[in-house]
Chain A
């Protein structure tokens, strides 16, 4: 993980839309290209946070596992996953925010469908009030998505996740 970290950090800083031309070249269709852009944008915070969560498993829990002689599989399910779950969900929350951002941006460029295209279309026909309405809509949707993941985190980690 430590060796791969620079690679992740470099890939993470590439802006979502910079992936789009490459993605379009590879997939030759708008829809899968957009999905790839969303994927490549959202994956990094999830990976990085998961890695941090696993690195931060308290030594105490490792000691408990050692004394109980948990094998690798038991350690994975009984200590590693629950211990890293709050971090994983933090990654998911950042990921879903970024993917929503990428969706709107990709739709603007690809065109034809979605709220991103709606905004661009409104701009082209000078309907400023519709743009403002769309921005409010995008913001509220992003907020609701974030709340959904946060609620899911509280349910899954049984309250041990820091909100």
Chain B
């Protein structure tokens, strides 16, 4: 299997005021087209750093990222990011936030009317058409995140990068949005790389879970395949033996073998 997205022997070392801190050590990971991969690990283990390297927002110290066998080392709309805190521009309406991305990515290939239709189509995918003329400050946290997802999807990215997309949401909204993301993944077949610290979320959504050891010098500790058929239903999963076993494996990894040691 040739990997669609390949993270190849990445090291990341931060140097600040003469002190060096090795955050990531020798991270190698291949992701197939259409696959949904989650990266889970304790806080501070470098998950977000890894995502930022894939997004091109941070340079890797060693190693590189290959997308369709071509090296990527700067940010671009082919790797759209859904940020943890939505990062919508507060002075633009919901529609304009998505339209900004659409206009930038499709300025040469789509006419005005097509771009308008494409923007509305993506808002429709996340069920946010009703709020298209509202500003981010006027909608709820879950809705903002939906718009963030619409903006990312509208770029037609090769890989969708989700940086703890549900982290700032309450449990009910989170569940609802997870179901939406699952349905979107089913429908559009995107390749997704998601950062999370929620075990249930990782098991429910992913095809594979990458578990990272604690930093400094975090490595990939274990990779777990989730052999659950799709579509997955939240309620059925609660009693599914495969689901429970996977969940158990991740919990063991996180809380027995790699307990989070609070840094002094």
Q: Interface on A for B, CB 8 Å cutoff?
A: 58, 60-61, 63-64, 66-70, 74, 78-79, 82-83, 85, 157-160
Contact among A61, A69, A70 with B87 in the assembled complex (CB-CB below 8 Å): A61
- Do residues A61 and B89 form an inter-chain contact, with CB atoms below 8 A? yes
Task: Specify which chain B residues have a CB less than 8 angstroms from the CB of A158 in the assembled complex.
Answer: 91, 135
State A64–B89 Cα separation when bound (angstroms).
Answer: 9
- Do residues B89 and A67 form an inter-chain contact, with CB atoms below 8 A? no
Shortest beta-carbon distance, A75 to chain B, in Å? Answer: 11
Chain B residue at minimum C-beta to C-beta distance from A69: B76
Query: Given A78-B100, A82-B89, A82-B91, are A63 and B57 neighbors across the interface (CB < 8 Å)?
Result: yes
State A61–B100 Cα separation when bound (angstroms).
Answer: 13
By CB atoms of chain B within 10 A, which of A68, A70, A78 has the most? A68
Binds A, one of B9-17, B32-40, B77-85, B249-257: B77-85
Shortest beta-carbon distance, A95 to chain B, in Å? Answer: 22
Count residues on chain B whose CB falls below 8 Å from chain A CBs.
23
A sample of 26 inter-chain contacts (CB < 8 A) reads A58-B87, A60-B87, A61-B89, A63-B57, A63-B75, A63-B81, A63-B83, A66-B57, A66-B74, A66-B75, A67-B76, A67-B77, A68-B105, A69-B75, A69-B76, A69-B104, A74-B104, A78-B89, A78-B100, A79-B89, A82-B89, A83-B91, A159-B135, A160-B90, A160-B91, A160-B137
State A83–B79 Cα separation when bound (angstroms).
Answer: 25
Check B169 for interface membership: any CB of A closer than 8 A.
Answer: no
Task: Specify which chain A residues have a CB less than 8 angstroms from the CB of B105 in the assembled complex.
Answer: 68
- Determine the main DSSP class of B at the interface with A: loop
Contact among A58, A61, A67 with B81 in the assembled complex (CB-CB below 8 Å): A67
State A137–B60 Cα separation when bound (angstroms).
Answer: 63
Q: Interface on B for A, CB 8 Å cutoff?
A: 55-57, 74-77, 79-81, 83, 85, 87, 89-91, 100-101, 104-105, 135, 137, 155
Task: Specify which chain B residues have a CB less than 8 angstroms from the CB of A70 in the assembled complex.
Answer: 104
- Determine the main DSSP class of A at the interface with B: helix
- Do residues B57 and A68 form an inter-chain contact, with CB atoms below 8 A? no
Contact among A63, A69, A78, A160 with B77 in the assembled complex (CB-CB below 8 Å): A69
Chain B residue at minimum C-beta to C-beta distance from A161: B91
State A19–B55 Cα separation when bound (angstroms).
Answer: 53
- Do residues A64 and B104 form an inter-chain contact, with CB atoms below 8 A? no
- Do residues A64 and B87 form an inter-chain contact, with CB atoms below 8 A? yes
Task: Specify which chain B residues have a CB less than 8 angstroms from the CB of A85 in the assembled complex.
Answer: 91
Task: Specify which chain B residues have a CB less than 8 angstroms from the CB of A159 in the assembled complex.
Answer: 135, 137
Chain B residue at minimum C-beta to C-beta distance from A65: B75
Chain B residue at minimum C-beta to C-beta distance from A67: B75
State A66–B89 Cα separation when bound (angstroms).
Answer: 14
- Do residues B79 and A67 form an inter-chain contact, with CB atoms below 8 A? yes
State A94–B222 Cα separation when bound (angstroms).
Answer: 58
